Amino acid sequence: MLFVIDVGNTHIHLGVFRKDELVAHWDVSNDGSRTVDELGLLLKSLLAESGLAAEELTGVSAACVVPPVCATIEAAFRKYFGLKPFFAGPETERKILESFDDPREVGADRIANAVGGFHRYGGPLIVVDFGTATTFDAIAADGSYLGGAIAPGLAISIEALFKRAARLPRIELVRPPRAVAQDTVSGMQAGIIFGYAGLVEMLVRRIRREIGEEAEVVATGGMAELIVRETGIVEKVDPHLTLEGLRLIFERRGGARTLPAGGDN
């Protein structure tokens, strides 16, 4: 079995593949203060609760955009599972990044989305990932990564309103009945949800004009369903696309970088 782990700024998305089947998945908060032991025990308990044996794990494929947490993850897997994680990144996927100006600037999660998206849907393709930031990634017909756009995420937008506007409350992200709201909470919900749907539509249209109007659009990430319902421009929602990309990256490299914890490579 392969353990896959996508470390974002706010959440950590985890999954276990048995061959090409995702047999379990979890989302946990990214608490940067977790110790190696806390993380290792958490991972073991998640596996146990899903009826999966830790001894069956043969590899770990990770995308991590929070360097301090990367070190904790590596130490936890070494100590509790006897495995050294493989970390996907620009240096491991040079081929698809050949046309990008500075591959070092592309996050590992965006690379995984490009790999997973092209495998499932072909190209040209636009992947919209609703995370702490919302990213728009363009993939060419041959699978190469072209670049994209980055916008503040929904949660960041809500928090900014709450913190910077003295009389605006922290709200639950729920679709309001209409755009012309008659109370503050509904007004904030309308502005964020319907306004964000407009942001997605405009960026997708602009990217399509640049890479090809036939480009398919797929969304992933925790907030995808909420926004996709408000726009007809996104054709599919694939909640585990990043995890699938991490599996594919690991497999096409033959798992060569995931070694027993005692290995030196």
* Residues annotated catalytic, as ranges: 109
Joined tokens for residue 132:
């702490």
Joined tokens for residue 78:
């070494």
Q: How many helices (H) and strands (E) does the chain have?
A: 7, 10
Contacts of 202 (CB under 8 A, 6+ apart): none
Q: For tokens 């073991």, what's the residue?
A: 44
Contacts 24+ apart (CB under 8 A), 191-197: 192/154, 192/157, 192/158, 192/161, 193/226, 193/227, 193/230, 194/230, 196/134, 196/154, 196/157, 196/227, 197/227, 197/230, 197/231
Phi, psi (deg, nearest 5) at residue 102: -135, 90
